[in-house]
A and B are shown apart, each in its own frame.
Chain A
């Protein structure tokens, strides 16, 4: 365990410079944007004198050079002060904190579903390579990959909410129903089925292709032949010997793909009006609330780093050769 922790911590330390690059990059991007905060404020107030502008610039710390501003900006962020949200009139940090749980739950469900289904379908396809199940599953994978998530979401709403009336068309839970305990859990689960399906399908397609390729590669290795020669049954060879080794690239890929998935949640949360981080990102673009948007960028980068840290831990656990 010690070895694992040391390894994962080393990887975590490596992501600090990456985080710094992101912050400096965002800061420079904002410098490129036409006009500064004060210009925007003055425009909102309907104009003002040059003295007012100078006073405001001093108040917002815009009267010093770019380098000093960058220093202050980084210091502020280090104490997790993300500034004020213009549309909600609250600190950005608390606006984001309110939305984080929904997105975390939504992402975990989508990730778990895509991973599990991709794994099973990939194994099934690899088992009968080039047979009809393989052809069918691989074709489905290609089609799934091409379906835009937001369009799939709308079509699922038409089918399951409008025509069949089985599932709710949006929202995170029934408002005003006052449900508690298990009833509330079931209610939320009911609301999450369609969004999870819409977001997960494209990743399911990616995982199934990766799993199939990885299974095929491991199946050609010597130790598999040995296991077969020992007289182990085919399914035991497949599930106990091949699968564990074939899982390694899958696990790495979850870490790599997580940031893409988080990006995808923006659209899907907007389709299903889920009050999560992604929808907040969309709202803040529409309302030109840059403070909130940058806070979301920072938080989602931190989430991606965290997930990759967990993936590293898991990977080292699955493969004892790592870090030895």
Chain B
């Protein structure tokens, strides 16, 4: 309750929450408002926004309803962002917890692997994964998670390093607690708050990565992804620039929402820590 009040005191957090609720509402209402397939032909191509009352945001160069695409795209972005973040944070927490808890050569080995993942540019690694495993929605989502786990891993490891010799851990050890329940039940809950804050940043990055892939035409072509429409709009950029501009605005709002929520959570949960 106190955390909620602290969160509501942060203007960034409030604006972020409002924007996020709007994006989630768009995602949830997509089927009700636009029951037709957003990838199907909806009308004459390249109608400007406002020109046709039936298609408030106009159509793109493939004749798709931009408004319908926007609402269905919110669903795709949130889904990919959510699942990819769960994968990234899951791997990060697991590796970071083991490295920080055991230390020694285990830590050394795991940290070298983490550094290897950080050394290869994440978007290029993403391209390699797409080139090898294809570009179905599930593959893309897991691949985005796979390139994003290093930052949460380092956070968890740092927390574990500072927690593992605290008295409550030593006491639990002294009582004969095994490693696994000790890690999961005692140390992890104390290490989680900064990771939860950071998860919103992971989500924002995941959405940006997917939209970049879709823009290049390397994402799943059978889903309504905002990046995909920006890429299609490139062909008519000189005259009908709104086709690229509108879905880009949607990405901006969604990513901004997650960053602001992250800032609000940070202000509420650990006011002394800076989230980057």
Where the two chains meet, the residues of A that have a C-beta atom closer than 8 Å to any C-beta of B are 15, 17-19, 21-22, 25-26, 29-30, 32-33, 142-143, 145-151, 154-155, 157-158, 162, 206, 209-210, 213, 253, 256, 259-264, 266-267, 270, 281-282, 284-286, 288, 290, 293-294, 296-297, 300-301, 304-305
Complex CA–CA separation, A262 to B122 (angstroms): 9
Q: Is the CB of B132 within 8 A of A32?
A: yes
Q: Is the CB of B122 within 8 A of A260?
A: yes
Dominant SS among interface residues on chain B: helix
Residues of A within 8 A of B131 (CB): 284-285, 288, 290, 293
Q: Is the CB of B256 within 8 A of A304?
A: no
Given A145-B259, A270-B216, A297-B124, answer yes or no on A151-B130 (Cβ-Cβ < 8 Å): no
Given A213-B274, A290-B131, answer yes or no on A259-B113 (Cβ-Cβ < 8 Å): no
The 8 Å CB contact of B121, one of A209, A256, A262, is A262
Q: How far is the CB of A47 from chain B (nearest CB, A)?
A: 23
Residues of B within 8 A of A304 (CB): 119-121
- Interface residue? B76 (CB, 8 A): no
Which chain B residues numbered 213 to 270 have a C-beta less than 8 Å away from chain A? 215-218, 227, 230, 233-234, 237-238, 241, 244-245, 248, 251-253, 255-256, 259-260, 263
Where the two chains meet, the residues of B that have a C-beta atom closer than 8 Å to any C-beta of A are 12, 112-113, 115-116, 118-133, 204, 208, 211-212, 215-218, 227, 230, 233-234, 237-238, 241, 244-245, 248, 251-253, 255-256, 259-260, 263, 274, 276
Return 21 A-B CB contacts under 8 Å, by A number.
Answer: A15-B115, A32-B132, A33-B132, A143-B252, A146-B204, A146-B251, A146-B259, A148-B211, A148-B255, A154-B230, A213-B274, A256-B118, A259-B121, A263-B122, A266-B123, A270-B216, A281-B124, A282-B127, A285-B130, A290-B132, A297-B125
Q: Is the CB of A209 within 8 A of B276?
A: yes
Given A162-B238, A281-B124, answer yes or no on A267-B252 (Cβ-Cβ < 8 Å): no
Residues of B within 8 A of A282 (CB): 127, 216
Residues of A within 8 A of B260 (CB): 142
Q: Is the CB of B256 within 8 A of A18?
A: no
Complex CA–CA separation, A277 to B217 (angstroms): 18
Q: Is the CB of A267 within 8 A of B133?
A: no
Residues of A within 8 A of B251 (CB): 146, 148, 151
Residues of B within 8 A of A162 (CB): 237-238, 241
A294 (CB) vs chain B CBs: closest residue: B128
Given A148-B208, A206-B276, A293-B127, answer yes or no on A30-B132 (Cβ-Cβ < 8 Å): yes
Residues of B within 8 A of A288 (CB): 131
Residues of A within 8 A of B255 (CB): 145-146, 148
Q: A29-B129, A143-B256, A262-B124 are in contact. List 10 more A-B contacts (CB 8 A).
A: A25-B116, A146-B255, A149-B212, A150-B230, A154-B234, A154-B241, A210-B274, A253-B276, A282-B127, A297-B125
Q: Is the CB of A22 within 8 A of B116?
A: yes
Q: How far is the CB of A215 from chain B (nearest CB, A)?
A: 12
Q: How far is the CB of A155 from chain B (nearest CB, A)?
A: 6
Q: Is the CB of B128 within 8 A of A26?
A: yes
Residues of A within 8 A of B256 (CB): 142-143, 145-146
The 8 Å CB contact of B113, one of A19, A21, A210, A286, is A21
Complex CA–CA separation, A22 to B12 (angstroms): 39
A290 (CB) vs chain B CBs: closest residue: B131
Given A266-B124, A266-B127, A267-B123, answer yes or no on A151-B218 (Cβ-Cβ < 8 Å): no
Q: How far is the CB of A207 from chain B (nearest CB, A)?
A: 10
Complex CA–CA separation, A293 to B123 (angstroms): 12
Complex CA–CA separation, A149 to B157 (angstroms): 31
Q: Which of A263, A264, A270 has the most CB of B within 10 A?
A: A263
Complex CA–CA separation, A261 to B33 (angstroms): 39
Residues of A within 8 A of B245 (CB): 155, 158
Q: Which of A29, A145, A148 has the most CB of B within 10 A?
A: A148
Residues of B within 8 A of A25 (CB): 116
Q: Is the CB of A297 within 8 A of B248?
A: no
Complex CA–CA separation, A316 to B216 (angstroms): 40
Complex CA–CA separation, A300 to B122 (angstroms): 11
Q: Which of B133, B217, B274 has the most CB of A within 10 A?
A: B274
Q: How far is the CB of B114 from chain A (nearest CB, A)?
A: 9
Q: Is the CB of B115 within 8 A of A18?
A: yes
Complex CA–CA separation, A304 to B251 (angstroms): 29
Given A18-B112, A281-B124, answer yes or no on A29-B132 (Cβ-Cβ < 8 Å): yes
Complex CA–CA separation, A18 to B133 (angstroms): 24
Residues of A within 8 A of B127 (CB): 266, 281-282, 285, 293
Q: Which 10 A-B pairs have the closest CB atoms?
A: A263-B123, A263-B121, A151-B248, A146-B256, A146-B255, A21-B116, A262-B121, A33-B132, A158-B241, A259-B121
